[in-house]
Structure formats: structure tokens, C-alpha cells
Amino acid sequence: MEDCLATLRFSDDGLTDGLEEAMRYSLLAGGKRVRPVLALATARALGREATEVLPIAAAIELIHTYSLIHDDLPAMDDDDLRRGRPTCHKKFGEDVAILAGDALYAEAFRLVLTRQQAEPAHLRDALAHLAGATGVNGMVGGQWLDVAARDVDLRELHALKTGRLIAASIESVLLLSGRDAEPWQPYCSELGVLFQIVDDILDVTGTDAALGKHPGSDERHGKRTYVSEFGLGGARTMARVSHGKARAALAAAAPDGAPELSQITDFIFTRSS
Amino acid sequence: MEDCLATLRFSDDGLTDGLEEAMRYSLLAGGKRVRPVLALATARALGREATEVLPIAAAIELIHTYSLIHDDLPAMDDDDLRRGRPTCHKKFGEDVAILAGDALYAEAFRLVLTRQQAEPAHLRDALAHLAGATGVNGMVGGQWLDVAARDVDLRELHALKTGRLIAASIESVLLLSGRDAEPWQPYCSELGVLFQIVDDILDVTGTDAALGKHPGSDERHGKRTYVSEFGLGGARTMARVSHGKARAALAAAAPDGAPELSQITDFIFTRSS
């Protein structure tokens, strides 16, 4: 995945290479690449080659990177560091960071629309799902719930903010392959829940380098997390229950087995970074 | 067009209705709707009903609105007023305004992907063009050239920042209809140039209500405009030349005539607001 992301160029004629530099600075800052890895593993679970879905897998990581850049902005979480390096706006200025995020989202769609091989009708369905998962009823809506600090259920907030893009990493590949995503929905949404619970635990117990942000960052921001709501022990119990549910839902969705998705599900539960 | 835009809702279950409120505040603030009107007129020039392309026409106005919200942000142009009303961030806060812009772009794609009737392959081509016109090599790239204040040709800057979305309002409907956009390219790009020259003239000569921003706003921001570079007389001459070129290019692209597009071309030249 790293090789694929590293080869991506966005500026056609070099005129906007400075904008591309800011986009690539954040895109290539490392990270676990959970979302594209899920997309590739889904292709394999369907008997396809992982390489066949590289464009949409990369596009999902572009979208994730855009969300991190905008979340870090002074008007949002106001974070100076991410993965031990200055955040995009600290490095390039706030104006360039806003535009780098905007551009990553546009280029994610362009990448899929120009490079992803698929039946056009399936491509449309996959992209419609991805647009929905990242708009008002998905990622951006969840971020709005977070900053607007309304009296909203924590699971509901994270289902939108984090869960829908995690789920879409799997669902968009199913749709792209002309498959019904419905039987996979319980697995996809549970995986999003599991990911967020573990993320909240790691915010308290993890290290800066591993987390990609300051430990206790969410706590410092006064954010409501699974740990702040249920305590560290409570959150760990919830993670264990969620992991079991996710494994069971995966077994129901893929009765013939999906070894790579099983492994990633376990990794999301047990990861210490 | 106003009726169509006014009926748009984005939040599926009301959970994120506050975000939708900020989006609709900016979307329904008026304006000339030049881009969607161009899209509808293009459909008619191809012998289609204008109503057949309403979703993509509306989506282009959503994208234009998103660009205005982000351009107005404190880190960008730092404008307090637009069309005589507080800008989105003045009304809802900077965090909500950033997210309202982000969400408008996502919902624009969702709108086309879920509501626009077309051959799936044509839909893909139209959207690929729209993504390209609004990404690194289009609108966002042009805005970056503007804020990064590099030594770039003014025409090149505006070709990206304004011109590509104006052009895409026509080109995306051609592609959606399975037509070759190539013969229309000279008209589309000249129309973008004409629009920007007149915009720069109106920034100096127009009124607040007509312009939708303070008169002299670009001047105050120290921006390079056609007027600042060539003087008011020079800019007016350039507008006249550009209008003639656009009319000739339209006649070449549509030898059987395209009365509505001709009218809009004239309106863009002669408008006083």
C-alpha cells in the first residue's frame, strides 16, 4: 500500500506542485493504513486480486488523510503534532492545510473515476456509498456532532465520525464487485465500533509515536470517549464484547471464511498502536 | 433553479440538522446561479429537457457554495459579509463553516450519483471531469495559487480558480449526454475568462448588494485582478474582446445555434451585478 500511495501525483503540469507537496506530506506520514488494507482484504475475500481495487483503496486513504488535516485545524482540535511531526497547518499554514484537505477529497474521487476498473453501474454504486459515508450522514456529520458538542450518544457520534468510513472500506469494494453489501452490514458497523473503542483506550495507554498524537490528547481536549464514559476497565470489556460480535458477524457474512479480514479484525482488537 | 435548491435536504435522520442548517444558509443566500443555469442551457442546446439535468446542475451550485464558504474563512480572504449577510463562519463559527463546506462537496457527489439519470459510463465521465475541475488542477488548485501568491500569470490563476468550474458546468452536461466535449472547449474556457474579467470590473464599479461582497473587496485584499493589472479601461477592452471570442467559439461548437447559451454569454458580459 505504501508503494502505491507514494507513486501518486496530483498536479498535472507542475503549476500546483506546492499544493501537492502539502497533500503528500500528510498522506505519506505513515499510519496503519487500516482502511485500504480492509479494502484489499475484502477483494481477496471475494476471490479477486487485491491489486484490482488499489485505486479505490488508495482513494479511501486520501479521504482519511483529508479528514485528519481538517480535524487538526486550529478551529477544530487545534493539534500541533500528528505522528510525531508538525501537523499540515503547522508546516504549511492554515490556508494551505484547508486547501490540501479539500484537494485530497476531490482527487480521491478523480482517482476512482479515472483509474478504477469496474462495471460503470457498479462504480457508481460504490462511489455513491463512499460519498454518503463521508458527507452529512457520515464522517463530516460525525465531526460536526463532535465540535457542536450536542447531547448525542457516544456510539452514534462515532458511528458517523469513524465508523462509516471504516465500514465503507469494505462495503465500497463489495458494491464495486457487484455484490450485495447488506449481509455484510453487521460486520462492517461492528468493526467501526471496535476500532473506536480501541482507539480511545490507546489514547490513554499508548505512546506518542505509536498513536500518532500526544497520549491523552482526547482527554486534554475534554472529549467524550469510551474511556471517559465507561472507565478503562469498562472500555476494555466493551472492546472484548465488540471483537466477539465482529468475528461472529464476519462468519455469518462470509460462511466460506475470510482469513485476511479475520486477521485484520483481530489486529484492530489487539493492536497496541 | 431556486425551487430545486430550496427542496434539497441532506440529513437523512435529523441527527445532523444543525450542519444542514449551515449548508442551506449559504446555499440559499441568493446569487445569480450562473453555473447551474449554464448546465440547464447546455441540455437545451443538445435538444434535451432542462429538467433532465437538474441533479448535476444543483450539484455544481453546491460545489460553488462550498468554495465560497472556504474562501471566506479567516485563514483565506477573511470576509465578514457575503451578499449583505454574515458569512457562514461569522454566523455559525469557523469549525462549522469548514465542515459545511466539506459536507456540501460530498453531498454534491452523492446527489449526482444517486439522483442523476444517465448511462452509467456517461455519468462516470461527467463526474470524473467535475472532480478534475474542482481538484488540484482546477478550483482548489487555483485558490492555492491565489493564497500562495506565487509569480503566476493572472489568466492561469483564474483559469483554474473560476474558469474550470464555469467550463465544467457546460462540459459535464455534454459528457453526461454522451457527447464529445472537445469541440466546446474553446467556448467553455473563454466563457470562464470573460466571467472573471467582468467580475473584477464589478468589484470596482459594483454595489455591495449587487456584488454580494464589499465593493473594492479584492482591492482591499491586495489581490491581483484584471483591473489592478490592466486598469479599468484595459479590463473593459479585454472583456469586449473576450465576449466576441466566446460568441464565435459558441457558434463554432453549435452551428445550429444555441440561443439560451448565447443569451447567457451576453448576460455574463453586460451584467451590472
Q: Are strands A81-82 and B85-86 parallel, antiparallel or unpaired?
A: unpaired
Contact A144 B19 (CB under 8 A): yes
Interatomic CA distance for residues A86 and A84, integer angstroms: 7
Round to whole Å and give the CA distance between A34 and A167.
Answer: 11
Amino acid identity, position A132:
G
A-chain residues near B24 (CB < 8 A)? none
> In the prediction, which pLDDT does A219 show?
61
Q: Which residues contact B210 (CB under 8 A, 6 or more apart)?
A: B202, B272, B273
DSSP A14: S
User: Which whole number is the average pLDDT over B205-226?
Assistant: 63
Q: Report CA torsion sign: A249, A252, A258, A259.
A: positive
Beta strands B81-82 and A81-82, pairing class: unpaired
What is the distance in angstroms between the Cα of A23 and the nearest Cα belonging to chain B? 10
Running DSSP on this structure, what letter comes out for residue A182?
Answer: G
- Return the residue matching grid coordinates 444517465: B118
Q: Are residues A106 and B107, on separate chains, in Cβ contact within 8 Å? A: no
Supply the pLDDT for residue A95: 98
Answer whether A57's CB lies under 8 Å from A44's CB. Answer: no
What distance in Å separates the CA atoms of residue B96 and residue B87, rounded to the nearest whole number? 12
User: Cβ–Cβ of A140/B102 closer than 8 Å?
Assistant: yes
Contact B16 A143 (CB under 8 A): no
- 3-state SS of A122-172 is HHHHHHHHHHHHHCCCCHHHHHHHHHHCCCCCHHHHHHHHHHHHHHHHHHH
| B141 contacts A98? CB cut-off 8 A | no
CB atoms < 10 A from the CB of A51, how many?
Answer: 11
Contact B122, A167 (CB under 8 A): no
Beta bridge partners of A244: none
Which grid cell is A166?
A: 471504516
Q: How far is B146 from chain A (nearest CA, A)?
A: 10
Q: What does R_g of chain B's alpha carbons equal in angstroms?
A: 18
- For residue A254, how far is the Cα from the chain centroid? 22
Pairwise CB contact (< 8 Å): A12 & B137: yes
pLDDT at A216: 63
pTM for the whole structure = 0.95
Give the C-alpha distances (Å, rounded to integers) separating B83 from A149, B79, B203, B209.
30, 11, 13, 6
Which residues in chain A are contacts of B16 at CB distance < 8 A? 136-137, 141, 144-145, 160
pLDDT recorded at residue B208? 42
What is the three-state SS of chain B?
A: CHHHHHHCCCCCCCCCHHHHHHHHHHHCCCCCCHHHHHHHHHHHHCCCCHHHHHHHHHHHHHHHHHHHHHHHCCCCCCCCEECCEECHHHHHCHHHHHHHHHHHHHHHHHHHHHHCCCCHHHHHHHHHHHHHHHCCCCHHHHHHHHHHCCCCCHHHHHHHHHHHHHHHHHHHHHHHCCCCCHHHHHHHHHHHHHHHHHHHHHHHHCCHHHHCCCCCHHHHCCCCCHHHHHHHHHHHHHHHHHHHHHHHHHHHHCCCCCHHHHHHHHHHHHCCC
Average pLDDT for B99-128: 98
Residue A143 and residue B23 in contact, taking contact as beta carbons nearer than 8 Å: no
What is the chain B residue with the closest CA to A116?
A: B124
User: Looking at CA atoms only, how far is residue B260 from chain A in angstroms?
Assistant: 31
How confident is residue B107, by pLDDT bands cut at 50, 70 and 90? very high
Report the pLDDT value the prediction gives residue B271, as an integer from 0 to 100.
Answer: 86
pLDDT digits (tens, 9 = 90+) for A227-267: 999 999 999 999 999 999 999 999 999 999 999 999 999 99
Which among A19, A141, A152 is the nearest to B19, CB-wise? A141
pLDDT at B220: 56
Rounded distance between C-alpha atoms, residue A64 and residue B205, angstroms:
44
What are the Cα distances from residue B266, in Å, to B161, B191, B211? 22, 10, 18
Is A136 in contact with B107 (Cβ distance < 8 A)?
Answer: yes
pLDDT tens-digit readout, B183-207? 999 999 999 999 999 999 998 987 5
Residue closest to A11 by CA, chosen among A20, A21, A1: A20
User: Cα B60 vs. chain centroid, distance in angstroms?
Assistant: 7
Chain A residues whose beta carbon lies within 8 Å of the beta carbon of residue B11 = 136-137, 141
Residues in B closer than 8 angstroms to A134, CB to CB, are: 106
Tell me the chain B residues in contact with residue A95 when contact means C-beta distances shorter than 8 Å. 75-76, 147
> Measured between CA atoms, how close is A105 to chain B, in angstroms?
8
A77 in Cβ contact with A221 (< 8 Å): yes
Contact A103 B20 (CB under 8 A): no
The residue assigned the cell 467582468 is: B198
Residue A117 to chain B, least CA–CA distance (Å): 11
Reported ipTM: the value is 0.95
> What values do phi and psi take at A185, rounded to 5?
-60, -45
Q: CA distances (Å), A139 to each of A57, A200, A204, B221, in order?
A: 17, 17, 23, 34
Q: Which amino acid is at A201?
A: I
pLDDT score for B216:
63
Q: Please count the other Cβ atoms lying within 10 Å of the Cβ belonging to residue A3.
A: 7
Q: How far apart are CA B89 and CA B99, in angstroms?
A: 10
Query: What are B55-81's pLDDT values in tens digits?
Result: 999 999 999 999 999 999 999 999 999
Q: How far is B75 from chain A (nearest CA, A)?
A: 5
| Cβ within 8 Å, pair B152-A98 | no
pLDDT exceeding 70 applies to what percent of chain B?
A: 93
List chain A residues with pLDDT less than 70. Answer: 149, 207-221, 272-273
CA dist., res. B95 & res. B89, Å (int): 8
Per-state percent for chain A, helix, strand, coil, to nearest 5? 75, 0, 25
Domains of chain B: 2-270 (1.10.600.10)
Inform me whether the pLDDT recorded for B154 exceeds 90: no
Q: Record the cell numbers describing residue A236, joined without a space.
A: 476494555
As a whole number of Å, the CA-based R_g of chain A is 18
* Per-residue pLDDT tens digits for B11-60: 999 999 999 999 999 999 988 999 999 999 999 999 999 999 999 999 99
CB A159 within 8 A of CB B15: no
Residues 6+ apart with CB under 8 A from A120: B119, B120, B121, B123, B124
